Structure 1
């Protein structure tokens, strides 16, 4: 979540249940109570090692990008901590209140020590610094109703701070844990909102790469918002943002959350933005079934399961034929046979004669070329209103979070909200005066701030 950073890895042992799925699990629809009891955060699993080829192209970051010369910098003392919202390997996410305006923000705090000090998992410090700058740079350039907003960034001698939009509805993970599973119409609605966000990102030359329930938040009106762009990658081709049809450059980094990763990433093969659509299939499968298609103690176990299932994951019989068809098209392990949603997003304008001549039955195994937005599962979606934001502004989503007091953070897990906002052991907070983070500070334009407050 925005608001959830990657957690420390737990020591997990592989059991028989990690290696084989029991066929009878799919014979009955899962009960909500059963699913809620056994649901666990995907970040508890072993994270993929971040491996990038030595000659991969990097996102260039200019010092002070996005800053006005008259920038009035924010400092930590401008904000009063209210409640913890999340905790991860690099730091915490805190709900804070601006002392001067009483506005609420989600403050993502990153420990410089955890980023700068070399470790065995990622010895290249420059890569970790690059990802931190990439998140700040990407978010500062985005404005979409289903993407979290960034308002300020600043840093002191020990931490980096990102002041983000506070999304009070909490993680989708929290609501799935409470409900167990979602009905198909609800899952299709949120799949459509995520699809709009992914299509927007891909047009900007950005691959998201970490779609999972913990990174999807619900706002006060029940609409879904993507957050945590720490693993996202922006194309280094500057023309990609002005040309919607242009592909994101081929990617190689082995990165992400194993249960929701495309097979080509787990295998260490080159991949493109299409990996995000496979992750969407995994997420919707999770919404409907109560777990992702493949689970295991680490990415090797998950990859073994994917390779054993030559026809793709087993989709439960109790889902509708339309949903089975949609999931099957996205969950193809061969990316060349997977639905290229960005290419076949909507139906092209054609004459009746042309449309009649193109109606040919697709053979099994062929690439799907039908329009994504016209699929049966989206029959209740008004794509025009959703894509321009009118739906998000004017109508409620299918899950309405219960909010009695914004400062209570009622829709965030107690495991986070019960944490202290301040560091318990201040002696472990190292001080860094290095200029490696020079240029990190940022302030959104005044019109942008006024638009959302």
Structure 2
């Protein structure tokens, strides 16, 4: 985060993805030929969509997670930010193999072992950011990028919040805070988000439980034909495990993190936070220390 860069320092090679107010490109730095991802945010669009606070929070979270001592192999690194008249630029780690959503679309669902590997790396990434008081608030397969070695990178901190930190100042759009009360993605959000209540770290473990179910079953537990019906299912915890569900320990973990009452939800501050999640029997055989250096079992799915 010490190097000041500008757009002319990079070759913009091709588009990776785009959203309503930003586009991500695969880029190469002219000086070193090193590749990276650059997220380009259109200033007038974030003002129009009242997303200015979201961008401030995203940068604050990523700067915190990218400082010396806070880096983690399962989390995207922010290497630099800069701006010009029209755009904001975020220079980040490039994930060479797209994301878990793309992989899941190709294979429909994952084996018990492959699922455990991905969920273990996600849990380790969430534990790290929670330790630094960062709540992601938009955990889902498309935000789990894949490296060439088959490990995940937790990405897209656009909904993230540093717990306990004051809201960033916003003199551009005073109505933005009210509009930004809903965060996340329909099939992965918690009841408290839908009710407009304060959130804490366990929203990420709820979403992790949704992903765990989805990887093993091939669809999310609250899947329905409209957002309204999805939200009704979330609020009433209306879902079932199929008779063919293969992993009993995964089932118990899902049942303990997909819980309406935050005080009873595994991973919440009331239940001991991330450490208790990592101590769940589902992870009994996981070596957290060596996980980043293990040969990824999902490499065969990526080729």
Q: TM-score scaled by structure 2?
A: 0.86
What are structure 2's unaligned runs of at least 5 residues? 66-70, 167-179
Q: Which residue of 2 aligns with 1:91?
A: 22
Once the two structures are superposed, the pairs formed by residues 20-59 of structure 1 within 5 Å of their partners are none
Contact kept? 1:258, 1:266, Cα under 8 Å: no
Unaligned runs of 5+ in 1: 1-65, 120-124, 239-251, 347-370, 386-390, 404-410, 412-453
Structure 2 residue 287 is the aligned partner of structure 1 residue 382: yes
**Structure in which a larger fraction of residues adopt strand:** 2
Corresponding residue to 2:146 among 218, 230, 251: 218
Aligned residues: 282
Counterpart-to-counterpart distance in 2, 1:230 and 1:400: 28
* One of 158, 164, 187 as aligned partner of 2:92: 164
CA distance in structure 1 between the aligned counterparts of 2:130 and 2:148, rounded to whole angstroms? 26
Shift in Å, 1:345: 4.6
Distance 1:99 1:182, change over 3 A: same
Would you identify which runs of 4 or more consecutive aligned residues in structure 1 move more than 6 Å? none
Alignment-derived partner of residue 239 in structure 2 = 313
Q: Which has the larger radius of gyration?
A: 1
Higher relative contact order, chain-length normalized (CA < 8 Å, sep 6+): 1
Contact 1:106 1:163 in 2 (8 A): yes
Q: Is the 8 A contact 1:313 1:331 kept in 2?
A: no
Contact 2:201 2:268 in 1 (8 A): no
Compared with structure 1, are the counterparts of its residues 101 and 109 closer, same or farther at alpha carbon in structure 2 (3 Å cutoff)? Answer: same
For 1:308 and 1:161, the matched residues in 2 are separated by 41
Mapped contact 2:147–2:153 kept (Cα < 8 A):
yes
Q: 1:373 Cα deviation (Å)?
A: 2.8
Whether 1:154 and 2:112 are equivalent positions in the alignment is: no
Correspondence for 1:140: 63
Give the CA deviation at 1:137: 2.0
More helix by share: 2
Is contact 2:123-2:278 (8 Å) kept? no
1:293 lines up with 2:224 in the alignment: no
Aligned Cα RMSD in Å? 2.3
Separation in 2 of the partners of 1:218 and 1:375? 25
Other-structure match for 1:398: 297
Q: Distance in 1 between matches of 2:225 and 2:183?
A: 16
* Equivalent pair of 2:103/2:301 in contact (CA under 8 Å): no
Instruction: State the alpha-carbon separation in 2 of the partners of residues 301 and 82 from structure 1.
Output: 41
